[in-house]
Amino acid sequence: MRSRNASPSPESPPKSTVQQDTTPLKRPVLVAAVLVFSSLVVSLMQSLMLPIQSDLPRLLNTSADNASWVITATLLGSAVAMPIAGKLADMYGKKPVLVATSAILLVGSLLCALFDQLSLVLIGRVLQGVAMGYLPVAMSFVRQVLPKPMVNSTMAAVSASLGVGGALGVPISAWIAQQFNWHILFWITAVLATAMLALAVAALPHIRTSASGRIDVVGSIILVIGLVSFLVGISKGGTWGWSSVPTVTLIAFGLVVLPLWGLYELRLDNPLVDLRTTVKKPVLLTNLAALLIGFGLMGHNVVIPQLLQLPTETGVGMGQTIMQAGLWLAPGAMMMLVLAPVSSRLLTRFGAKSALGIGAVVLTLGYGSATLFMDAPWQLMIASAIASAGVGIGYAAMPTLIMENVPAHEAGSAVGVNALMRSLGSTVAAAVMTGVITSNLVTTGGITAPARDAFTLSFIVGAVAALGAVLFVLLVPRGADSAAAADSPSGAEEGQDADRELASV
């Protein structure tokens, strides 16, 4: 087997020779703004269809089960795209991938805007999910090109956009769908994607990469098969039944294929994901914390809207419309963005490990407060805001901690895996929280709905998951976010190398 440090084979693609755009680093604020804006747009795709989910069978002239794939398709596209987009960015440069994902979002939006056929809308939604590969690449790009004083604040804003976009998408799309034809949703995303594409081409610098090799096609296919099988089983378990043959088969198949994928990757000199780096203690523990914090984000996004929207006749619901519920959650989403400067200060002053721990503790407090305050929308709004603040701080810290403990040429791939872990956590949370809520149903006033205790239990489950994230953070070796940065080319030296590379173009 060829050594990992051996020169690339003649079959490997040449290093990128694309030149950097004219003097982009004279406008670092513009570069940061483009990355934050584009990340926010991409994140909107998570929740864009939720307000009209119940109407999809009629709108697409299909069954409810078939229509539900419109939601699942975006999840699957994003899950498989994140690690692959990160690897491509490491090999060919980050700007080409950011441009490509913007173009993919535009194509997907146009398909959904122009057609009513289920098959074409599904393809469009998959492409919109694939466009979420923009996020991990943008995070690693921030560290590569921006001046050091801007890195933490921009990283915090880009990371927060993942939660902000998902939360704001509900009230915005609910209002648009109520006032206009549902296709307008996608005409708007098409316009936003066009702006993303133009800004990526015009404003983002291109940095030549020293990485070489070729994309691991076989490994990518195996990863896609394993992830899709597992995620479909998890996301459809509530509909198909957790003990049904399709659910059990898909989950089991995914759990078999993914370890086999790992064994295959370990045999390669240039794998899709360097698992030897991924299992380093700081990286592994950060990814496990990401899984649980992702669980925390989706958990309260599943539970609180249901509690808000249940009829008041149930004795536990608050009778809010989906738009009203989204508006009650909006302050929590904005909290993530407003706290970006706080996250940046925590990263600068205490380091990424401490910031991640603080975020997990705040998330725990958010779920804990929800168990006590369930009697009015404003109480749930406060609990959501606390939990969202914790998620925002945690999301800002995770990519920083990852990049400080991996080689510079693997930064995009490593952040992509971290983003995938967040996504997996969110998928599992949706299934778990739905199961917990529906495990205790009572009939009041002729309406069958979850009991108050079911909601309390779901918040306790979320708090336990957040405490698990705290534990994983405590196990991260001391100094992993400082010594590693000094020793690794992906730390402060990476920014210096990027500056020298830009100056030489």
Q: Could you give phi then psi for residue 178, rounded to 5 degrees? A: -75, -35
Tell whether 229 and 367 lie within a shared domain: no
* Percent of the chain whose predicted confidence (pLDDT) is above 90: 37
The C-alpha atoms of residue 45 and residue 133 are separated, in whole angstroms, by 12
> What are the angstrom distances between the C-alpha of 242 and each of 15, 223, 439, 449?
48, 23, 13, 20
pLDDT in tens, 104-163: 999 999 999 999 999 999 999 999 999 999 999 998 899 888 888 888 888 888 888 877
Range of the domain at 77: 26-215+272-504
* Kind plus residue range of the DSSP H or E element containing 442: strand 441-444
The C-alpha atoms of residue 348 and residue 483 are separated, in whole angstroms, by 14
Residue 4 lies inside a defined structural domain of this protein: no
Query: In a 3-state reduction of DSSP, which class is residue 449?
Result: strand
The C-alpha atoms of residue 122 and residue 72 are separated, in whole angstroms, by 9
Pairing of strands 441-444, 447-450: antiparallel
Tell whether 74 and 192 lie within a shared domain: yes
Tell whether 100 and 154 lie within a shared domain: yes
Tell whether 309 and 428 lie within a shared domain: yes
Tell whether 402 and 258 lie within a shared domain: no
22: region left, alpha or beta (phi > 0 left; psi from -120 to 50 alpha): beta
Residue 322 pLDDT level (bands cut at 50, 70, 90): confident
Token duo for residue 317 = 């619901």
Residue 389 lies inside a defined structural domain of this protein: yes
Mean pLDDT for 173-185 is: 84
Residue 464 pLDDT level (bands cut at 50, 70, 90): very high
Residue 210, pLDDT score:
58
pLDDT for 316 beyond 80: yes
The C-alpha atoms of residue 78 and residue 250 are separated, in whole angstroms, by 19
Q: Which among 179, 183, 159 is positioned nearest to 171, based on CA atoms?
A: 179
The C-alpha atoms of residue 207 and residue 21 are separated, in whole angstroms, by 9
Tell whether 238 and 195 lie within a shared domain: no
Burial of 7 (0-12, 13-18, 19+ CB in 10 A): exposed
When mean pLDDT is compared across 3-17, 229-243, 325-339, 384-398, the lowest value belongs to 3-17
The C-alpha atoms of residue 425 and residue 78 are separated, in whole angstroms, by 13
Largest CA distance in the chain: 74
Tell whether 103 and 236 lie within a shared domain: no
DSSP 395-422: HHHHHHHHHTTS-GGGHHHHHHHHHHHH
When computed from its CA atoms, the radius of gyration of the chain, rounded to whole angstroms, is: 22
* Kind plus residue range of the DSSP H or E element containing 447: strand 447-450
Tell whether 236 and 208 lie within a shared domain: no
What is the total count of domains within the chain?
Answer: 2
- What is the CATH number for 164? 1.20.1250.20
Q: Tell me the one-letter amino acid at 132.
A: M
The C-alpha atoms of residue 459 and residue 7 are separated, in whole angstroms, by 53
The C-alpha atoms of residue 383 and residue 367 are separated, in whole angstroms, by 7
Q: Tell me the one-letter amino acid at 138.
A: A
SS (H, E, C) 196-263: HHHHHHHHCCCCCCCCCCCCCHHHHHHHHHHHHHHHHHHHHHHHHCCCCHHHHHHHHHHHHHHHHHHH
Q: Which residues pair with 443 in a beta bridge?
A: 448
Tell whether 309 and 442 lie within a shared domain: yes
What lies within 8 Å, CB to CB, of 134 at 6+ separation is 38, 39, 42, 85, 97, 98, 101, 102, 105
When mean pLDDT is compared across 92-96, 240-244, 499-503, the lowest value belongs to 499-503
Tell whether 343 and 405 lie within a shared domain: yes
Residue 19 lies inside a defined structural domain of this protein: no
Tell whether 123 and 263 lie within a shared domain: no
CA 414 to chain centre: 14
pLDDT in tens, 37-61: 999 999 888 878 877 887 888 889 9
pLDDT in tens, 260-271: 999 999 888 888
Residue 20 lies inside a defined structural domain of this protein: no
Residue 18 lies inside a defined structural domain of this protein: no
pLDDT in tens, 203-236: 999 887 655 567 888 999 999 999 999 999 998 8
